[in-house]
């Protein structure tokens, strides 16, 4: 599974291959080398804090999930896009990208460079309109 890791102000793609059915978030943090060095006791996924004792199979992780390392139980990690609605790309070359959208305002998205949010879907070609 390919995840997007946000830690220490940096964002990077990681490949995770879970071979142990009972693997926990603590195991993931250990494998990333962040458990002790960053003081992480859990992760934040979609604004929700997940404790390190939670099994990965129960965490709802999938390709493109943005995982933020955190040292506390805050559901509002630093570096979030906004407190309001956001468009989150969960798969493809833009996986992990989040863009704030403003309620009551039109936001143009699509593959055209003139869009406010430009999406790149490799392999979809014309299936993705230039502007939505």
pLDDT above 60 (res 36): no
Strands (E) across the chain are located at: 2-7, 10-15, 42-45, 48-51, 66-70, 86-88, 98-100, 109-110, 117-118
pLDDT band at 80 (very low <50, low <70, confident <90, very high): very low
pLDDT band at 34 (very low <50, low <70, confident <90, very high): confident
Q: What pLDDT does 71 receive?
A: 61
Considering only residues 38 and 99, tell me which one the structure prediction assigns the higher pLDDT.
99
Alpha helices in 5-109 (DSSP H): 25-32
- 85/57 Cα distance (integer angstroms): 27
Class of domain 2-70: alpha beta
Q: What pLDDT does 78 receive?
A: 39
Q: For 105-118, what is each residue's pLDDT tens digit?
A: 888 888 788 888 87
Every domain of the chain and the residues it spans: 2-70
Considering only residues 94 and 128, tell me which one the structure prediction assigns the higher pLDDT.
128
């Amino acid at each position: 599974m390919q995840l997007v890791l946000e830690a220490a102000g940096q964002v990077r793609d990681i490949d995770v291959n879970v071979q142990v059915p009972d693997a926990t978030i603590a195991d993931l943090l250990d494998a990333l080398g962040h458990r002790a060095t960053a003081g992480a006791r859990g992760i934040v996924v979609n604004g929700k804090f997940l404790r390190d004792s939670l099994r990965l199979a129960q965490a709802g992780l999938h390709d493109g999930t943005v995982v933020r390392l955190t040292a506390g139980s805050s559901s509002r990690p630093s570096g979030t896009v906004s407190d309001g609605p956001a468009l989150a790309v969960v798969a493809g070359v833009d996986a992990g990208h989040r863009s704030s959208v403003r309620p009551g305002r039109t936001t143009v998205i699509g593959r055209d460079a003139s869009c406010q949010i430009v999406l790149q879907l490799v392999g979809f070609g014309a299936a993705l309109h230039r502007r939505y």
